[in-house]
Structure 1
Amino acid sequence: MVSSIAASPVKWTPRDLKLRGFKVYAVNQPCTTEPRFTRRDCYKVILLTTKARLHYGHQSWELDGTYLLFFNPHIPYAMEMQGDLRHGYISLFTEEFITSLDRSESLLQSPLFKIGSSPLFQLPEAQVPFMNGIFQKMLAEQEADYPFKGELIRTYLQLAIHEALHLQPAETLLQHHTAAARLAARFLETLEQQFPIENPEQTLELKTAQEFADRLAVHVNHLNKAVKEITGKPTSAHLTNRITDEAKALLQHTSWSVADISYCLGFAYPTYFNNFFKKQTGTTPLAYRRAA
């Protein structure tokens, strides 16, 4: 049985989220809907007990247990449920909501939300009741009349984030203080700022490592070395993977022609895009659209 994690009997709209900057709801239901890649204009912190397969960008994980999940709004995801029930809580929030406590660092630079990081942490069984309590308090405060409930909810949300950081090795959390890590983070954030593509007239401004190096005012060799050192992948691989992910999303979720999509993604001719896409996925854009 399969489902998108976004499905829930509780309905919400982007307008609701923008008015308040935060929303949380409980999930405890059978899973009956089809999986789909979902992108929205908010971050998500999710506590979920489930057996499923998670697809996040171009990566996939098998889940069986209780997890904290951290979803970046720039990356599409889907979840194929392999059990009859799921249980947990989903919180959605804007960057403005969480950064209103005078936090200067972008969430995209956080060890939990930055591009290329793992979005999930399996919780030890002893820690599950504590995390359940945090989300239950957020849910209760959301419905309360307390005039400072926004500040209290932010505190609970940050507590959940710090609990996840406790599960990471200390050296992982300290990496972003190095010059190479800062440059790699700037590259990844600049890359993500070009996405998602929202209309056929929009096109990628930066498409090569040299163009990114020029924008970041560094030598291209220095950029390539820093990105490879921190992420384990060369700059070209990040560009290829991100363009491929965007191509898949546009083929699945728009009715734009292949020519329009190729133009948006910076290809001079549709045949160049067809060759690129087939090399990365093993299939043509039209065949991928039909299958999706």
Structure 2
Amino acid sequence: MITNETLEDFYRNHPAAQRLPKLPDFKNGEHGHFNVFSRKYCTKYTSYNRRDFYKISLLIGKGKLFYGNQEIEINRNALIFFNRNVPYSWQAVSEEQAGYFCLFTEDFINDGSRAKNITDNPLFRGDSIPVFYIDKIQESELFNIFQKMSKELESGYIHKYDLMRSYLDLIIHEAMKMLPSESAGAHMNGSARVTSLFLELLDRQFPIDSPEHKLQLKTANDYASRLSIHVNHLNRALKEITGKTTTEHIIEKVILHSKVMLRQSNWSVTEVAYCLGFEYAAYFNNIFKKQTGITPKSYRETHRV
């Protein structure tokens, strides 16, 4: 079963946090929470969990990142953005594991003085974990920013957390510059806007945390109703922009997350089917086999973590 790692869990269990003289005051929620750590104290493996905080890692080393149905081989230095809504695990490959990581809560990045929440940024939306491979110049610049954050946190400067938000903005903009230009806020027509709203709504239905959590939006009509548009309008927009129908998108996402549950949880196939909105497990079996060529049971036996 996918569990949730809280800030308290992190500070009690992570080797880097255990070196601190005392635990932070988690009850002081006035400005949220922010901290930065060296990666040299990281463990070789982290379990497949969701975290209740965001994290940005300047990763110097090699390893494997697992999330959803993705297995990404990190074979060179990278800047990685971890979304609090996306469960993941990490397995180090190289002996050298250096760099920095910072973690922060939603309250910290959504500080009321900001005109726009950082979570509106595409780096923190959806169900992905963006990975940016960096060259030596980018590595040096980012390393310098993390070092400054670490140093300023130890200072008595009264506005140091405002400064931390500015440093975060710098890191985010460095990553945004690496995005393809068409992903960095190009003008969208009506179909593109509908597609964007649908995909964001679809992403928010996942992941599923427990066998009692049942998918709320299951059909094309469900999504069209939630978006207050006709289902034919939704289908036309998606077909124009993505080449796929609403139902194809839904099935693709359901199969993707069913694979995660079959691999990572101990739920029965019937429980997985129920969570994903299938009244009968046999119907789920048929859909899964049609999409993958094997049954859910066979997939689990082959890919179980």
Give the TM-score band, short-chain normalised.
0.7 to 0.9
Q: What amino acid maps onto 2:280 in structure 1?
A: Y
Q: Residue type of the partner of 2:147? A: Q
Residues 82 and 119 of structure 1: is their aligned pair in 2 closer, same or farther, counting only changes over 3 Å? same
Distance 1:106 1:84, change over 3 A: closer
Alignment-mate amino acid for residue 224 of structure 1: N
Match of 1:188 among 175, 199, 208: 199
Question: The residue matched to 2:215 in structure 1 has which SS?
Answer: coil
Count of aligned residue pairs for this structure pair: 285
Cα separation, partners in 2 of 1:232 and 1:162, compared to 1, 3 Å: farther
Aligned to 1:3: none
The equivalent residue for 1:244 is 255
Q: Which residue of 2 aligns with 1:83?
A: 94
Unaligned stretches of 5+ residues in structure 2: 1-9
Could you tell me how far apart the structure 2 residues matched to 1:65 and 1:106 are? 27
Are 1:25 and 2:34 counterparts?
Answer: no
Show the 5 A alignment for 1:268-279: 268-279=279-290
- Structure 1 length-normalised TM: 0.80
- Range moving further from structure 2, 152-161 or 119-128: 119-128
8 Å Cα contact 2:218-2:277 kept in structure 1: yes
Rounded Cα–Cα distance in structure 1 between residues aligned with 2:96 and 2:175: 24
Task: Go from structure 1 to structure 2 and tell me whether the alpha carbon gap of 1:105 and 1:49 turns closer, same or farther (over 3 Å shift).
Answer: same
Q: Match of 1:97?
A: 108
2:59 partner amino acid? L
Task: Give me the whole-angstrom Cα distance separating, in 2, the residues matched to 1:30 and 1:21.
Answer: 20
Q: Which residue of 2 aligns with 1:162?
A: 173
Q: Over residues 226-284 of structure 1, what are the superposed CA-to-partner deviations in whole Å (9 max), with x where a residue is unaligned?
A: 34555565533442343234334444554443323321210011222233344445554
Q: The residue matched to 1:206 in structure 2 has which SS?
A: coil
Deviation at 1:190, TM superposition (A): 1.7
What is the match of residue 221 of structure 1?
232
Q: Deviations over 1:8-31 (max 9, x none)?
A: 522489995994332322112586
Correspondence 1:61 to 2:67: no
- Which one-letter code corresponds to 1:23 in the other structure? N
Superimposed CA distance per residue, residues 53-101 of structure 1 (whole angstroms, 9 cap, x where no aligned partner): 3334333433222211122233333344332222222222233321224
Q: 2:150 aligns with which of 139, 152, 163?
A: 139
Q: What is the TM-score normalised by the length of structure 2?
A: 0.77
The residue identity in structure 2 corresponding to 1:128 is E
Q: Does the CA contact (< 8 Å) of 2:83 and 2:129 recur in 1? A: no
Q: 1:64 to 1:155 in 2, by over 3 A?
A: same
Q: 2:50 aligns with which of 39, 47, 51?
A: 39
- In structure 1, list runs of 5 or more residues that go unmatched: 1-5
Amino acid at match of 2:286: N
Alignment correspondent of 2:59:
48
Deviation of residue 198 (structure 1)?
3.0
What's the RMSD between the two structures over aligned residues? 3.3
1:209 counterpart (213, 220, 226):
220
The one-character-per-residue Cα deviations of 1:118-148 (angstroms, maximum 9, x if unpaired) are 7111122112111011112222333443332
The offset of 1:214, in angstroms, is: 1.3
